[in-house]
């Protein structure tokens, strides 16, 4: 794909300051190179920023607001949009980690049960390559590489380095170490799985303890302060004079701001919630 000269020059200048970008893209299952990804982030950010700036300029002309609004809108919009698109791999990594952690315990227990019943490790991994969501996808990729002739321990360690899930990484490394040391894979893997299960339960309990303060903060910022603020503002305006009116555009902007705050809070609560299979 042909790169734009201006965009590519900026991307190439940013690459030395982003040494871990390639690894992040690999963990996010993004096949683009770091240069291509930065090009995409800049193009998308500039496109949406220009639309936002045009909208701000139109509002300035219609309502007679200072023309500084489009300039501020351009700077703020570009910063926010670029941060959002540049954080896209992190969002993919977080989602991938949650998908893996959601099924990792059950996939590992499947492997333990099969190995304990005398099934070879390779066949046990093949059995776990279906029915466990993202974990099965990762195991299936491992089995494909092994089928093409790569050593199992090498593939396990390489996958462990690229996976965003610490739990899955520990399981893969434990299996690889057990194979190398000719130890009992089922026994060592069971100890690791039991520890991961305890950590998941503790994480859920910690989330429950954090939830009450978060709800209080939400009620204060998104419900109590705006409601009382509007009431006090109306009372003060009634003392100042009867002819003072708040422009409709300001009311719309306030409503949009409150809606954005509530949406961001609810999105934060949802994203921070541990999502494991035993929770539904």
User: Mind giving me the DSSP string for 183-223?
Assistant: --HHHHHHHHHHHHHHHHHHHHHHHHHHHHHHHHHHIIIII
pLDDT digits (tens, 9 = 90+) for 232-276: 777 777 776 656 666 777 777 777 877 887 787 777 777 777 766
Q: 279 falls in which pLDDT band (50, 70, 90)?
A: very low
For residue 248, what pLDDT is reported? Answer: 72
Q: Is the pLDDT of residue 124 over 90?
A: yes
18 vs 15: CA distance, rounded Å: 5
32 vs 40: CA distance, rounded Å: 10
For residue 60, what pLDDT is reported? Answer: 83
pLDDT digits (tens, 9 = 90+) for 15-38: 888 888 988 998 888 889 999 999
Q: What does pLDDT average to over the chain?
A: 85
Answer for the pair 275, 98: CB distance below 8 angstroms, yes or no: yes
Q: How far is CA 54 from CA 42, 47, 50, in A?
A: 18, 11, 6
Cα torsion angle, 98, 100, 101, 106, sign: positive
For residue 31, what pLDDT is reported? Answer: 87
pLDDT digits (tens, 9 = 90+) for 147-184: 999 999 999 999 999 899 999 999 999 999 988 887 78
């Amino acid at each position: 794909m042909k790169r734009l000269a201006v965009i590519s020059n900026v991307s190439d200048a940013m690459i030395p300051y982003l040494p871990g970008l390639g690894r992040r893209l690999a963990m996010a299952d993004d096949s683009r190179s770091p240069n291509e990804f930065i090009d995409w982030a800049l193009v998308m950010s500039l496109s949406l920023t220009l639309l936002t700036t045009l909208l701000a300029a139109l509002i300035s002309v219609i309502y007679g607001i200072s023309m500084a609004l489009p300039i501020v809108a351009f700077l703020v919009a570009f910063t926010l949009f670029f941060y959002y698109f540049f954080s896209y791999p992190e969002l993919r990594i977080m989602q991938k980690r949650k998908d893996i952690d959601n099924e990792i315990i059950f996939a590992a227990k499947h492997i333990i049960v099969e190995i304990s019943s005398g099934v070879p490790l390779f066949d046990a991994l093949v059995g776990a390559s279906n029915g466990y969501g993202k974990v099965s996808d990762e195991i299936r990729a491992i089995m494909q590489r092994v089928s093409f002739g790569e050593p199992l321990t090498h593939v396990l360690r390489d996958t462990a380095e690229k996976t965003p899930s610490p739990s899955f990484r520990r399981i893969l490394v434990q299996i690889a170490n057990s194979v190398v040391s000719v130890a009992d894979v089922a026994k060592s893997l069971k100890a690791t799985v039991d520890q991961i299960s305890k950590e998941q339960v503790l994480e859920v309990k910690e989330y429950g303890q954090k939830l009450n303060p978060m709800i209080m903060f939400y009620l204060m910022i998104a419900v109590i302060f705006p409601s009382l603020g509007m009431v006090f503002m109306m009372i003060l305006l009634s003392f100042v004079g009867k002819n003072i009116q708040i422009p409709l555009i300001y009311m719309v902007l306030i409503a949009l701001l409150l809606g954005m705050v509530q949406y961001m809070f609810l999105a934060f609560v949802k994203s921070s919630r541990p999502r494991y299979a035993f929770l539904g």
